[in-house]
C-alpha cells in the first residue's frame, strides 16, 4: 500500500512539500508578528502591566516595630527611652567570594566571634539569614554601609537607653536584645510598654533587600508611657549616700526606700551593689536584685514603736506605766535580755533605750490575737502590692502557734520578716497620724486605699517618744538633721543561720521620719553585714538616713520645725 503524497521511492512530491513549507513559515511569521506586536503594546502603550507583574514577584510583607513606651520620673525626666538603631544581618547565599577580605574587616569592626565568622563563610552553608550584630550605633552602621558588601543587609530596630544609668536601674529594670522587659518596671509593665507591631507591604530586589514601600497594612501602635512616683533628684541623693555608706562599712549589701508620708508614693528606692543597664557591666544575680522590694529580713527593734502604739490604742497600757527591767526577763524556759540593766522605764524610755525586756512585758499585756492583728494591719506578712514583679510578702507566724516566748520575741522584731519597702510603709501609720498608706511606684495624687490603724492621738504620742531616740543619750543621735525635728528607731539584728543566730553577723537598720511635727518623708535604711568595725543601726544606718533626709527636705523646700517644742511626756527613771 502506497501512502498519499509519496511515491514508490518514499520521496515527498515537490508541489505538496512547497505548500506545506509555506504554510508552516506563514504560521511562524504570524506568531512572531503577534509577539512583536504584543511586546510593542506592553512596552510603549501599556507600560504599567509589566511593571506590575514584575513587582508582584518581589512583593512581601514585613513587620514594623512599635515604639516602646517611655518610663519617666514624676517630673517627666526620662528614665528609659527607645532610640532607632540598625541591626546587621547576612544571607551567605549572596556572598561574593572576591569580597571575603572586606567582609572579614567588617566582621572585625562588629566584633563578630571567629567561630561564627567561619560558619558563615563556609562554601556549602545553607544559611539564608543570620544576624551579624544587633543594634549597632549609627556611626558604625554608616561605616559598614559604605563598604557595600554583597549579602550584607540592614534592619531598623529600637534600642533601650537608660539616662539615669545605675542610679535608677533597680527600679526601672532593663530589656533583652529583643526589647522584652526582663527586670523591674520594664518587666512588670511589659504589656503596657511594648505596644503593638505593625505590618507593611514592600518590594524587594533580587537580593531580598527592601527597595520600596507599597502600603501600610497595619499601623504600629506605640507603647504607653509610664510616669513613676520616683523623684530622680531624691533617687540620686539616696543612691549617692547609700553607696558611700556601703563602701565605708564594707557591707554585703544595702537598701534604702523613701516614701511620701502623705500618700505612700515611692520617691526613691536604691540598693547596693548596683549595675549599669546601658553597659550591663557587672550585671550579676547579686547586683540586679531590687533588694528593697524583693528581699526580707527580721526587722529587730524597729517594730517596737508599733507594740507601744498597739498597747496604748487598745488600752492595755497607760502613758505613765512604769516597768521594771532588771536587765533580763524569764519567759518560760527562755531569757529575754537587755545589753544592761536599765532599771525602771516608762514607755518613752523603753523606746529610747531600746529595751527588749521592757517591750516584751508590754507585748505580753496584750492578747495574742490582738497583738497579731496589729502587726497584720500594718502589712507584715502581706505583700505591699506596689506592682513590682517578684515583690516579697514576708512572714508573720499565726498567733495560734505562738508560745509566750514567741509572743515576746515578736515585740523586738524576731520571728517576723519584712522587706525594706514594707517596713517603710508601716511607719506611714505613725507619720500620718495613725493612717496607714498603700505604696505606689506610679505617680498619684491621692491614696484611695489608705486606712486607719491607730488613733491620731496615739500616733502623735508615739511619734513624740521616737524624737527622744535621736537625742544625745538615745540610740540614734547620728540621725539628727539640722533645723528639723526627727523621729525614728534603730535596729541591730543578729542574722539567722542554720540552727540559730550568728554572733558576728548583723543587719544595721534605721527607720525615721521628718519633720516630726508634720512628717513629709519616711526613710528606711538597711545595711547587711557591715564589717568595718561598726555594726549598730545607730552608727551605720542612721547617718545614711540623715544625709538623704536632709537632702530631700531641702529639695522640697520643707520649712524647719526645730523651734517647735516636743510633746510633753511623763518620764521615769532609767
Same domain, 201 and 260: no
Report if residue 566 sits inside a domain: no
Same domain, 293 and 162: no
Identify the band that residue 314 occupies on the pLDDT scale cut at 50, 70 and 90. Answer: very high
DSSP states of 499-561: TEEEEEEEEEEEEEEESTTS--EEEEEEEE---SS---IIIIIHHHHHHHHHHHHHHTTPPP-
Structure confidence at residue 53 (pLDDT): 56
Task: Tell me: pLDDT of 548 over 70.
Answer: yes
Give the whole-angstrom CA distance, residue 408 versus residue 460.
Answer: 25
Structure confidence at residue 525 (pLDDT): 98
Report if residue 67 sits inside a domain: yes
Give the whole-angstrom CA distance, residue 454 versus residue 433.
Answer: 8
Report if residue 187 sits inside a domain: yes
Task: Tell me: pLDDT of 48 over 70.
Answer: no
Task: For residue 301, indicate whether it is catalytic.
Answer: yes
Residue 438 near residue 385 (C-beta atoms within 8 A)? yes
Structure confidence at residue 43 (pLDDT): 67
Which helix (DSSP H) or strand (DSSP E) does residue 307 occupy?
A: helix 304-313
Q: Of 82, 301, 360, 411, which residue is the catalytic one?
A: 301
Judged by average pLDDT, the poorest of 40-49, 341-350, 422-431 is 40-49
Same domain, 528 and 475: yes
Structure confidence at residue 27 (pLDDT): 79
- In DSSP terms, 130 is beta-bridged to 90
Report if residue 550 sits inside a domain: yes
Same domain, 191 and 309: no
Same domain, 337 and 242: yes
Residue 228 near residue 170 (C-beta atoms within 8 A)? no
Q: Which of 186, 209, 227 is the last residue of a domain?
A: 227
* Cα distance from N-terminal residue to C-terminal residue, the chain: 145
Report if residue 384 sits inside a domain: yes
Query: Which residue from 232, 200, 273, 196 is spatially nearest to 71, judged by alpha carbons?
Result: 232
Report if residue 330 sits inside a domain: yes
**CB contact set of 418 (below 8 Å; sequence gap of 6+):** 296, 297, 298, 299, 380, 394, 426
Give the whole-angstrom CA distance, residue 550 versus residue 415.
Answer: 33
Work out the average pLDDT over 162-186. 93
Same domain, 154 and 262: no
Residue with cell 539616662: 163
Structure confidence at residue 570 (pLDDT): 39
User: What are 473-496's pLDDT values in tens digits?
Assistant: 999 999 999 999 999 999 999 998
User: What are 524-534's pLDDT values in tens digits?
Assistant: 999 999 999 99
User: What are 397-452's pLDDT values in tens digits?
Assistant: 899 888 999 999 999 999 999 999 999 999 999 999 999 999 999 999 899 999 99
Task: Tell me: pLDDT of 538 over 70.
Answer: yes
CA distances from 183 to 187, 190, 268 (A): 5, 10, 17
Structure confidence at residue 444 (pLDDT): 94
Identify the band that residue 2 occupies on the pLDDT scale cut at 50, 70 and 90. Answer: very low
Same domain, 125 and 257: no
User: What are 126-148's pLDDT values in tens digits?
Assistant: 667 788 788 887 788 888 888 88
The number of folded domains in the chain is 2
Same domain, 175 and 70: yes
SS (H, E, C) 426-456: HHHHHHCCCEECCCECECCCCCCCCEECCCH
Task: Tell me: pLDDT of 85 over 60.
Answer: yes
Mean pLDDT over all residues of the chain? 87
User: What are 354-384's pLDDT values in tens digits?
Assistant: 999 999 999 999 999 999 999 999 999 999 9
What is the span of the domain harbouring residue 292? 232-278+287-555
Work out the average pLDDT over 162-181. 93
C-beta atoms surrounding 368 within 10 Å: 19
Give the whole-angstrom CA distance, residue 473 versus residue 555.
Answer: 30
Same domain, 250 and 209: no
Residue 458 near residue 312 (C-beta atoms within 8 A)? yes
Work out the average pLDDT over 13-39. 77
Give the whole-angstrom CA distance, residue 24 versus residue 152.
Answer: 53
Same domain, 407 and 347: yes
Give the whole-angstrom CA distance, residue 326 versus residue 135.
Answer: 68
Question: What's the longest Cα–Cα distance across the chain?
Answer: 150
Structure confidence at residue 221 (pLDDT): 84
Phi first, then psi, for residue 63 (nearest 5°) are: -85, 145
Report if residue 352 sits inside a domain: yes
Same domain, 247 and 379: yes
CATH number at residue 134: 3.90.1310.10
Work out the average pLDDT over 105-110. 83
Report if residue 321 sits inside a domain: yes
Structure confidence at residue 124 (pLDDT): 57
Check residues 568 and 339 and name the one with the higher pLDDT: 339
User: Does the model's pTM come out above 0.85?
Assistant: no
User: What are 54-68's pLDDT values in tens digits?
Assistant: 555 566 776 667 889
Identify the band that residue 535 occupies on the pLDDT scale cut at 50, 70 and 90. Answer: very high
Give the whole-angstrom CA distance, residue 520 versus residue 516.
Answer: 9
Query: Which residue from 247, 245, 191 is spatially nearest to 523, judged by alpha carbons?
Result: 245
Identify the band that residue 111 occupies on the pLDDT scale cut at 50, 70 and 90. Answer: confident
Percent of the chain with pLDDT over 70: 87
Structure confidence at residue 50 (pLDDT): 53
Phi first, then psi, for residue 139 (nearest 5°) are: -60, -45
Same domain, 194 and 240: no
Phi first, then psi, for residue 47 (nearest 5°) are: -70, -25
User: What are 235-293's pLDDT values in tens digits?
Assistant: 999 999 999 999 999 999 999 999 999 999 999 999 999 999 998 766 788 889 999 99
CATH number at residue 338: 3.40.710.10
Amino acid at each position: 500500500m502506497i501512502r498519499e503524497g509519496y511515491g514508490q521511492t518514499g520521496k515527498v512530491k515537490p508541489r505538496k512539500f512547497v505548500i506545506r513549507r509555506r504554510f508552516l513559515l506563514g504560521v511562524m511569521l504570524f506568531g512572531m508578528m503577534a509577539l512583536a506586536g504584543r511586546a510593542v503594546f506592553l512596552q510603549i502603550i501599556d507600560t504599567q502591566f509589566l511593571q506590575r507583574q514584575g513587582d508582584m514577584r518581589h512583593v512581601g510583607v514585613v513587620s514594623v516595630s512599635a515604639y516602646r513606651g517611655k518610663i519617666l520620673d514624676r517630673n517627666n525626666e526620662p528614665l528609659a527611652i527607645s532610640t532607632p538603631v540598625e541591626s546587621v544581618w547576612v544571607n551567605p547565599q549572596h556572598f561574593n567570594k572576591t569580597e571575603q577580605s572586606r567582609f572579614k574587616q567588617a566582621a572585625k569592626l562588629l566584633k563578630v566571634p571567629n567561630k561564627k565568622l567561619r560558619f558563615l563563610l563556609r562554601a556549602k552553608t545553607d544559611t539564608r539569614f543570620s544576624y551579624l550584630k544587633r543594634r549597632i550605633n549609627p556611626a558604625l552602621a554608616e561605616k559598614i554601609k559604605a563598604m557595600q558588601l554583597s549579602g550584607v543587609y540592614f534592619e531598623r530596630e529600637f534600642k533601650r537607653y537608660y539616662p539615669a544609668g545605675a542610679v535608677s536601674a533597680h527600679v526601672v529594670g532593663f530589656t533583652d536584645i529583643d526589647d522584652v522587659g526582663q527586670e523591674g518596671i520594664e518587666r512588670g509593665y511589659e504589656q503596657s510598654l511594648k505596644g503593638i507591631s505593625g505590618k507593611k507591604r514592600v518590594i524587594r530586589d533580587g537580593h531580598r533587600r527592601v527597595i520600596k514601600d507599597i502600603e501600610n497594612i497595619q499601623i504600629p501602635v506605640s507603647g504607653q508611657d509610664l510616669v513613676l512616683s520616683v523623684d530622680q533628684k531624691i533617687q540620686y541623693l539616696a543612691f549617692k549616700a547609700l553607696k558611700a555608706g556601703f563602701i565605708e562599712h564594707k557591707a554585703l549589701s544595702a537598701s534604702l526606700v523613701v516614701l511620701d508620708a502623705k500618700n505612700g508614693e515611692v520617691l526613691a528606692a536604691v540598693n547596693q551593689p548596683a549595675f549599669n543597664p546601658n553597659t550591663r557591666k557587672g550585671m550579676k544575680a547579686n547586683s540586679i536584685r531590687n533588694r528593697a522590694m524583693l528581699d526580707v529580713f527580721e526587722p529587730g527593734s524597729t517594730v517596737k514603736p508599733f507594740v507601744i502604739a498597739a498597747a496604748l490604742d487598745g488600752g492595755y497600757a497607760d502613758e505613765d506605766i512604769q516597768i521594771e527591767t532588771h536587765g533580763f526577763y524569764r519567759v518560760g524556759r527562755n531569757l529575754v535580755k537587755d545589753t544592761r540593766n536599765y532599771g525602771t522605764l516608762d514607755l518613752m524610755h523603753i523606746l529610747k533605750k531600746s529595751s527588749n525586756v521592757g517591750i516584751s512585758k508590754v507585748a505580753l499585756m496584750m492578747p495574742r490575737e490582738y497583738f497579731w492583728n496589729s502587726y497584720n494591719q500594718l502589712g507584715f506578712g502581706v505583700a505591699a502590692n506596689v506592682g513590682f514583679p517578684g515583690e516579697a510578702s514576708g512572714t508573720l507566724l499565726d498567733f495560734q502557734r505562738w508560745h509566750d516566748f514567741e509572743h515576746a520575741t515578736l515585740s523586738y522584731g524576731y520571728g517576723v520578716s519584712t522587706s525594706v519597702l514594707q517596713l517603710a510603709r508601716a511607719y506611714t501609720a505613725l507619720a500620718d497620724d495613725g493612717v496607714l498608706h498603700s505604696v505606689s511606684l506610679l505617680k498619684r495624687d491621692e491614696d484611695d486605699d489608705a486606712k486607719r490603724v491607730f488613733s491620731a492621738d496615739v500616733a502623735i504620742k508615739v511619734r513624740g517618744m521616737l524624737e527622744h531616740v535621736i537625742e544625745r543619750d538615745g540610740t540614734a543621735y547620728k540621725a539628727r538633721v539640722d533645723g528639723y525635728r526627727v523621729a525614728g528607731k534603730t535596729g541591730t539584728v543578729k542574722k539567722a543561720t542554720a540552727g540559730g543566730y550568728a554572733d558576728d553577723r548583723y543587719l544595721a537598720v534605721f527607720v525615721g521620719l521628718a519633720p516630726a511635727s508634720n512628717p513629709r518623708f519616711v526613710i528606711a535604711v538597711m545595711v547587711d553585714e557591715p564589717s568595718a568595725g561598726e555594726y549598730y543601726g545607730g552608727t551605720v544606718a542612721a547617718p545614711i538616713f540623715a544625709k538623704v533626709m536632709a537632702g530631700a527636705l531641702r529639695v522640697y523646700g520643707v520649712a524647719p520645725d526645730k523651734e517647735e517644742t516636743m510633746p510633753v511626756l511623763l518620764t521615769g527613771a532609767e
